[in-house]
Every structure is written in C-alpha cells, then in structure tokens.
C-alpha cells in the first residue's frame, strides 16, 4: 500500500475504473454472444436489432480504449459474415 496521499487516491480510482471497464467489456461480449445465438437458431426477426446493439457497444469500447480498433473491426466483420451466410 502506498504512503503518499495522491498514490493512495490513485489506487482507489484505478480499482473503480477497472470494475467499470470489466463490466462494460462483459456486456459487450454478451451482446456479441446474443447475436451468435440468434444466428444459430435462425431467428431473423430480432437479429438486426441485436446486431446494431452489439456494434454500438463494440464502437464504444474502442472509444473508451478497452479494445483495439482492429479487434473491433474483426468482431463486427465476423458478425456480419455470420448473418450474411445465414440467409
């Protein structure tokens, strides 16, 4: 544990940010899995809504610096490819 007051504060802030980031990252992964689940079950009604939601979360993760932009592009391309092959 640090001795300096500002260092102690930074420890608390870093922990708070880590929790928020992991929570958001988890919700992003869940959104991706929901789209994959809809593709496997061949449900075409809700797939565009879930795809837009997943893309929005992926873009927000890039903006926050949680994932690299190439990973985001790869994930979005994978989802679009799955949907296009489904039809």
Is the pLDDT assigned to residue 61 strictly greater than 90? yes
Q: Which domain holds residue 77?
A: 5-86
Neighbours of 53 (CB within 10 A): 16
- Give the total residue count for the chain: 87
Q: Mean of the pLDDT values across residues 34-40?
A: 95
Q: What is the number of domains present in the chain?
A: 1
What integer pLDDT is reported at residue 87 of this predicted model? 64
pTM: 0.86
Q: What is the CATH number of the domain that holds 57?
A: 1.20.58.110
Alpha helices in 1-87 (DSSP H): 5-40, 47-64, 69-86
The 3-state DSSP class for residue 1 equals coil
């Amino acid at each position: 544990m640090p001795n300096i007051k500002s260092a102690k504060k930074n420890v608390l802030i870093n922990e708070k940010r880590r929790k928020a980031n992991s929570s958001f990252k988890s919700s992003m992964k869940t959104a991706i899995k929901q789209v994959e689940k809809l593709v496997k079950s061949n449900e075409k009604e809700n797939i565009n809504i879930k795809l837009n939601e997943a893309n929005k979360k992926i873009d927000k993760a890039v903006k926050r610096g949680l994932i690299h932009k190439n990973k985001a592009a790869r994930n979005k391309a994978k989802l679009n490819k799955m949907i296009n092959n489904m039809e």
